[in-house]
């Protein structure tokens, strides 16, 4: 573990900010460690075991990413409901059109399904029951849902959704990341299928 003094990088560490298309709430850095000395007392676990200790935490981190995806989708839904009430076309609030109402119904249903799965997985994690497969399932399900919902939210906003005047575009850009970090959707599918079928070639 390398401690970072506030506002500067530790000795032997170089870094540069990675420009991103979303998730601007935090800055992402690429770090290079060259000649960075770490005291023995700062070793994580036993020598050669830090990787396993770190990966053991992925279960919680994946449930956490699913929770973020659900929150993001919920934000998109709430904004879309409001917009459907506010925006008038052809003499009606667009929320009177079945095409828009059904989109909202579908968005809400997908969010609820993800939330129910998340609570089941979190209960297992809280009870100390191993839930790595289930954590992959909820991360996969919620992040894929999140992008679909955010995209529909943008669609409900019409042309305004493609502007930066509404949060719809930000939800969509931020949703895209949830399918990538904390293990991509493809990697979650590998974990889930390995649990059912065993590892390929094993």
CB of 135 vs ligand FAD, minimal distance in Å: 15
CB of 177 vs ligand FAD, minimal distance in Å: 6
Q: Which of 16, 8, 13 is nearest to 35 (CA)?
A: 13
CB of 163 vs ligand FAD, minimal distance in Å: 24
CB of 171 vs ligand FAD, minimal distance in Å: 16
Q: Are 69 and 114 in contact (CB under 8 A)?
A: yes
CB closer to ligand FAD, 36 vs 61: 61
Query: Does residue number 166 form part of the binding site for ligand FAD (CB under 6 A)?
Result: no
What are residue 91's phi and psi, to 5 degrees? 80, 15
Q: Which of 14, 16, 10 is nearest to 29 (CA)?
A: 16
Query: Does residue number 180 form part of the binding site for ligand FAD (CB under 6 A)?
Result: yes
Query: Does residue number 29 form part of the binding site for ligand FAD (CB under 6 A)?
Result: no
Query: Does residue number 68 form part of the binding site for ligand FAD (CB under 6 A)?
Result: no
Kindly indicate which of the ranges 74-82, 119-127, 154-162, 175-183 contains the residues binding ligand FAD, using the contact rule CB under 6 A. Answer: 175-183
Query: Does residue number 85 form part of the binding site for ligand FAD (CB under 6 A)?
Result: no
Kindly indicate which of the ranges 7-15, 77-85, 102-110, 180-188 contains the residues binding ligand FAD, using the contact rule CB under 6 A. Answer: 180-188
Query: Does residue number 28 form part of the binding site for ligand FAD (CB under 6 A)?
Result: yes
Query: Does residue number 190 form part of the binding site for ligand FAD (CB under 6 A)?
Result: yes
Binding site residues, ligand FAD, CB under 6 A? 20, 23, 28, 177, 180-184, 186-187, 190
């Amino acid at each position: 573990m390398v401690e970072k003094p506030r506002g500067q990088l530790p000795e032997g560490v170089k870094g540069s900010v990675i420009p991103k298309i979303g998730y601007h709430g935090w800055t992402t850095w690429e770090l290079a460690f060259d000649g960075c000395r770490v005291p023995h007392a700062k070793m994580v676990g036993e020598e050669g075991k830090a990787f396993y200790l770190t990966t053991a935490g992925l279960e919680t981190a994946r449930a956490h990413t699913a929770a973020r995806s659900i929150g993001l989708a919920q934000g998109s839904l709430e904004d879309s409901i409001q917009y459907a009430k506010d925006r008038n076309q052809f003499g009606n609030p667009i929320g009177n059109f079945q095409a828009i109402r059904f989109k909202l119904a579908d968005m809400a249903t997908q969010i609820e399904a993800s939330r129910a799965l998340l609570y089941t997985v979190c209960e297992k994690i809280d009870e100390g029951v191993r839930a790595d497969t289930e954590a992959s399932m909820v991360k996969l399900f919620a992040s894929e849902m999140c992008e679909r919902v955010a995209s529909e939210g943008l669609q409900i906003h019409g042309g305004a959704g493609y502007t930066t005047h509404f949060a719809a575009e930000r939800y969509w850009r931020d949703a895209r990341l949830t399918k990538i970090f904390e293990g991509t959707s493809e990697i979650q599918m590998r974990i889930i299928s390995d649990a059912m079928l065993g590892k390929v070639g094993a």
